[in-house]
Homo-oligomer: A and B are copies of this chain.
């Protein structure tokens, strides 16, 4: 009975939000559930068309920037006596996914933001600030570095970004052209400091803390920084039958030692830091040939940049030892570095007040996952609202957030925007 009363009090429409999320889940659907929808793929393109249609139906003025980010604008009060046009309140998320990803990561914040725009219309609310709903392009897409679109908006990409290639050999420039965008205008995706009053993102937690503690809303205190590298181990491919054990230069044995060392160094000291080797490829990869070359990823995350730097240094020192003992060369190339990003105290307070008004329980917690909000932290104060992930499962078809939790998150987003509109 309490639940029904609570839901009657929502400004957002839970059923409508669920329906748009279910429709979105059709694009790039896996046979076993969830989606495979990498940025700049046909499945992503189809999902973007759907999302732009929803934005227009919600009365938003849609534009796509030269990096591929989708903005849907709702004007604020302008021309009032004695007032300059105010900067934008920006909120949204992403709709691309990892390979064999779920239906909630990014999708909840994207569809939740559009639902907020619809609810504002229904409640005939005119904000002081202009509002922009944003769908960041290729948040997950690792060939181009994660947070691709929001990094473009924050001007964080290295100079040669347009020539970067994905695993299939496609350059960023070509990927942009495949979306009808002009790579020559890529720099115009950058937004200026001062244009944005604040950035807000609703997202699933992706960890299991809220679910374990039965808390409805997470208030994010900060987003961990990410350092990642692509490493290669170069040994010598040779016949598995005729090469004695003591004469081998086995790149896979060396890489195995390397990745176990990563885990050992990450675990060495207490703390919430994590380290992962998620990708590993073997050449030539035949059962009867000693591996000659292995490529693998290495990723470290923590709220403290010093912690990941120190762990990284220890890991690379350990790699030198493995190189000597295995007679295999290990080389690592840094990829995109994302600094840790703390959220804005005033926005955290606004989220807490909005949740309290609606009668939802809250917990302040860090985000172990990277988010576009950390790109935005370079331009504006940021805040993030988390909803629970059942069993903390994410980046998997088994990823699940309950519809009522998603509706609560969207309601808090709605109420927080109105609070920020008054305060900022």
Q: Which residues of A contact B (CB under 8 A)?
A: 98-100, 140, 142, 146, 205-208, 224, 226, 228, 236-245, 247, 250, 252-253, 255-257, 259-260, 263, 266-267, 272, 274-292, 297-299, 301, 367-370, 389, 392-396
Contact = CB atoms under 8 A, between A and B. Distances in A.
A142 to B, nearest CB: 5
Contact of A259 (B100, B207, B240, B252): B252
Given A237-B396, A239-B368, A278-B286, 12 more contacts: A98-B288, A140-B288, A142-B286, A206-B241, A242-B392, A243-B274, A245-B275, A253-B277, A278-B282, A279-B282, A280-B280, A280-B285
Contacts of A241: 206, 224, 226, 274, 301, 367-370
A395 B288 contact: yes
B368 A276 contact: no
A299 B288 contact: yes
A239 B287 contact: no
A288 B101 CA distance: 11
Contacts of A237: 100, 395-396
Contacts of A257: 256, 260
A224 B241 CA distance: 8
Nearest to A228: B287
A224 to B, nearest CB: 6
Contacts of A367: 241-242
Contacts of A250: 263
